């Protein structure tokens, strides 16, 4: 299995989205960790040190952007690749880009994936990031 032994943290406040992402990745052998808000995502990442983090943009307690910034400024988590999931473009027509995040946070995620999530794009993106 391509992802055997690799840990992926899925942080999304919607249980259905976490289940969908897990289902898309489970056949590749990834060990899945979950968090339902930004604060929990940071705590799980620091404790478990996943190989990759998938962060929803809109979450309670800390947004995905706030969690991203915290993760990038922590020695334990700063090198973990991050994929940002966002449904904002679908709802508002306004999209985010890696450049937008770099301009604001002085760092950028390794990828952005818009909701609704295409499982093939998700699987390919995860596999590419974890192959580095």
Q: What is the CATH number of the domain that holds 74?
A: 3.40.50.2300
- The whole model's pTM is what? 0.87
Instruction: State which residues form the domain around 63.
Output: 7-131
* Residue 36 belongs to some domain of the structure: yes
The total number of structural domains in the chain stands at 1
Q: Has residue 2 been placed in a domain?
A: no
Q: Please, is 53 exposed, middle or buried when counting C-beta atoms within 10 Å of its C-beta (0-12, 13-18, 19+)?
A: buried
Q: Does position 60 have pLDDT exceeding 50, yes or no?
A: yes
- With left for phi above 0 and alpha for psi between -120 and 50, is residue 34 left, alpha or beta? beta
Is 12 part of a structural domain of the chain? yes
Q: Does residue 1 sit within a domain? A: no
115 pLDDT exceeds 70? yes
Domain membership of residue 81 (yes or no) is yes
């Amino acid at each position: 299995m391509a992802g055997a032994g690799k840990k992926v943290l899925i942080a999304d406040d919607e249980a259905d989205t976490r289940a969908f992402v897990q289902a898309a990745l489970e056949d590749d052998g990834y060990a899945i960790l979950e968090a339902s808000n930004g604060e929990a995502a940071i705590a799980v990442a620091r404790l478990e040190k996943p190989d990759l983090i998938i962060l929803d943009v809109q979450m309670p307690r800390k947004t995905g952007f706030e969690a991203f910034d915290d993760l990038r400024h922590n020695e334990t988590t700063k090198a973990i690749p991050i994929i940002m999931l966002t449904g904002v473009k679908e709802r508002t027509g306004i999209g985010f880009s890696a450049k937008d995040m770099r301009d604001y946070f002085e760092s950028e995620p390794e990828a952005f994936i818009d909701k609704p999530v295409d499982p093939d794009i998700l699987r390919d993106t995860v596999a590419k990031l974890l192959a580095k």
